[in-house]
Chain A
Amino acid sequence: MFDELSEKLERVFKTLRGAGKLTEQNIRDSLREVRRTLLEADVNYKVAKDFIQSIETKAIGQNTLRSINPGQQVIKIVHQELITLLGGQVAELEISPMPPTIIMLCGLQGSGKTTLAAKLALHYRRNGKNPLLVAADIYRPAAIQQLKTLGKGLNIEVFYKDDKPVGICRAASAEAINRGYTHVLFDTAGRLHIDDQLMQELADIKKATSPIEILLVADTMTGQDAVNIASEFDRRLGITGVALTKLDGDARGGAALSIRAVVGKPIKVVGVGEKLDALEKFYPDRMASRILGMGDIVSLVEKAQQTVDLKEAARLTEKLQKESFTLEDFYSQLQQLKKMGPLESLLEMIPGIGKSLKGINMDGNELVKVEAILNSMTVEEKREPHILNGSRRHRVARGSGTSIQDVNSLLKQFSQMQKMLKKFTGKNMKAFAGGLPKFGL
């Protein structure tokens, strides 16, 4: 998501690296480019200005000019400043000492409150808690129905009664205490920060229920107005944190920097996809690394750990070592990879790769084709690919909606891979089994 900013900064620093010596003048020139990049990324102009100033002071003040690699040193300073600006540490959601933990979600229309409420509820349930969703958006047509549908799909209780939002939330809190819910999530109606009446409604809900977290749900694509929105919500409600949504798009997300810098409240969770488990913590250091084009390998490894079945991985490793890796095993590996989410978002996390793949369609369509071909094969064919004669190949191609060339090319690549495996057997197999070899049509 921050890839383009990274690219630009990289270009800026390439000229810095190229310069034999850093002077105050070329630091200033480069930082002017950084500023423009930040503005293109929707960082608020005041925030960008402050950021540049603080870097300039630091870069010029330090012994940067005499260091062996001054460009690297400036990158280090920019990186450090970005981390600081993004909040420094990972911020956790608060837990109320006296259950239930009440979390109020608020924000503009369409920022993603309802989806986020469901994501948080699922997150708590997966951690062994007992969450209650509360439908407090009585204004938008079918908003209550939307939350109910989401709750039903997750098998999580949704509280609603025919009342004003304050009454609904008050009753929900009482219900939570009576029935032993550990976490209560208020899904409030979207509203403008300047809508006095509706902002007062949120203040009233806060007063009636004392939520331990008041999260401003903000869209990553928000422009310069992010600072006005955030400071107004904060002024009226005293928000405790921010939830950043739609982070899986290609918005550079300058709003994240702006909000954090202006209201000083941490970003606590981020939404990274349409699926209800697409919720992550916000890591300032990783985000800063991404901004500087260093990739996000930590998130990738974590994702793999969460989703890959270790037993299955061990079995595949063994098979690879014994040279008995078949198309069937490959299919199983493919399924594991798919569980980790869309290929594009995985690739984005690999350092350096975001740029090199630009313009190439890496949305997993190729893998879909491969999967379709494998699905059209019998178990026997997958185990013993050599039995695939002309007529079988023809059948597979028709069955998978691909061409006979596609099938041939897959089989050819697989046999090449097997040959390669024989060469490598015993060496680095563990590392190899973890990732999918270069495979595609």
Chain B
Amino acid sequence: MGFSIKSLREKLSKTTNKISAGIRSILPKGKKIDDALLDELEEVLISADIGPEATMRIIDQARNQYHGGKITDSEQLEELIKTTSVEILKGADSHPNLETITKPEVIMIVGVNGAGKTTTIAKLARYYRSNGKTVLLAAGDTFRAAAIEQLGIWADRVGVDIVKHGQDSDPAAVVFDAINAARSRGKDVVIIDTAGRLHTKSNLMEELKKIRRVAAKAHSGAPHQTYLIIDGTTGQNGLKQIKLFDQAIGLTGLILTKMDGTAKGGVVLAAATQFKIPVRYIGFGETADDFDSFDPQSFVAAIFDSKSDD
């Protein structure tokens, strides 16, 4: 299976090196810290989409430690930045709900257009399958042309059931049927696909609320998880996406996609300073295997540890 940390790091480091120089290029071993170095560090963090606010927070911390004489060289600085980043990411993790869930567990996937929802659902389905669970997909994107077909192809490839209605049908009705079908077929997990929507369109956000309500009606406690898909190339708008989707339907986690490019996905670090919504998974490629559960440590390492050898 492709779910090892190593493969994630290889995938990420393969690409993070190529265009943008990593933290190493400005933090060669043993270099003394000064204000100019801290300024350069600011640029590195900004260019990883960590955003000015979270960047300032990290830099200020480093500056205080430096002025207080606690750190003096680049190695200590690098260590400090990594620890701070990991702490920020871990701080967003809420306590997992330990209540036992009556089968099926219902997972709702939401996000803006083009974030990678459908592909992620395929990956998530495969992930659950490889953990011995049975999965059923609900083709809730009834708006985009051929979205139902796209999910259907993935269902075949991954080998899971799918419940679908026609194009332009009511997504809430699809969800209702899917949950009932999953119950009668004894499935462990239902994953709901929804149409991409910009968080600013309140009528479309209302539609999501309705889907949520109907899911709860079909199965008490559903949806048990609501994940927002965030495109790894997204900048600071990701913060607004998280805020508005959370306001509308309540998010339990984030899934960061397209991490096989040169973007570093730092917006989730910025998000972790503001919201108590943890990143749950990370996607980094087009096959169903390019997926892993999110680990703050290896994420930070993969982002900052670009080797300077090429």
A binding-site residues for B, Cβ under 8 Å: 36, 39-42, 44-45, 108-112, 139-143, 145-150, 153, 192-194, 219-226, 228-229, 232, 246, 248-252, 254-255, 274, 342, 344, 361, 363-365
Contacts and interface: CB of A to CB of B under 8 A. Distances in A.
B19 A232 contact: yes
Given A249-B199, A250-B240, A221 B235 contact: yes
A149 B146 contact: yes
A40 B52 contact: yes
Contacts of B150: 140-143, 145-146
Interface string B131-163: 000000000000111110110111001000000
7 contacts: A45-B43, A109-B114, A110-B115, A111-B114, A219-B114, A225-B261, A365-B203
Contacts of B143: 274
Contact of B153 (A141, A225, A254, A274): A141
B145 A223 contact: no
B237 A146 contact: no
Given A108-B261, A221-B231, A274-B143, 16 more contacts: A41-B236, A45-B47, A108-B233, A139-B286, A143-B146, A146-B145, A146-B150, A153-B145, A192-B15, A219-B234, A221-B234, A224-B47, A246-B113, A246-B114, A252-B236, A363-B202
Nearest to A35: B52
Interface residues of B, number: 52
Contacts of B43: 45
A232 B261 CA distance: 12
A222 B234 contact: yes
A127 to B, nearest CB: 23
A36 B233 contact: no
Contacts of A226: 233, 235
Contacts, number: 154
Contact of A39 (B46, B231, B233, B260): B46
Contacts of B231: 110, 219, 221
Contacts of B238: 221, 223
A251 B235 contact: yes
A361 to B, nearest CB: 6
A221 B200 CA distance: 13
B20 interface: yes
Contacts of A143: 146, 150
Nearest to B258: A109
B146 A110 contact: no
Interface in B251-305: 258, 260-264, 266-267, 286
B46 A112 contact: no
Contacts of A246: 112-114, 198
Residue picked from A150, A153, A221, most chain B C-beta under 10 Å: A221
Contacts of B113: 110, 112, 246, 274
A194 B236 contact: no
Contacts of A193: 261-262
A113 B113 CA distance: 12
A168 to B, nearest CB: 18
Given A141-B149, A145-B146, A361 B233 contact: no
Contacts of A222: 233-235
B262 A194 contact: yes
A194 B14 CA distance: 10
Contacts of A142: 146-147, 149-150, 152-153
B233 to A, nearest CB: 5
A45 B19 CA distance: 15
B95 interface: no
Contacts of A250: 198-200, 237, 240
B237 A252 contact: yes
Residue picked from A39, A142, A194, A219, most chain B C-beta under 10 Å: A142
A255 B46 contact: no
Contacts of B47: 44-45, 224
Nearest to A220: B237
Given A194-B18, A249-B237, A224 B261 contact: no
A219 B233 contact: yes
B102 to A, nearest CB: 33
Contacts of A40: 51-53, 236
Residue picked from B114, B199, B202, most chain A C-beta under 10 Å: B114
Nearest to A118: B145
A250 to B, nearest CB: 5
Contacts of B261: 108, 192-194, 225, 229
B19 A228 contact: yes
Given A139-B286, A194-B19, A219-B233, A248 B262 contact: no
Contacts of A249: 112, 198-200, 237
A203 B51 CA distance: 34
B49 interface: yes
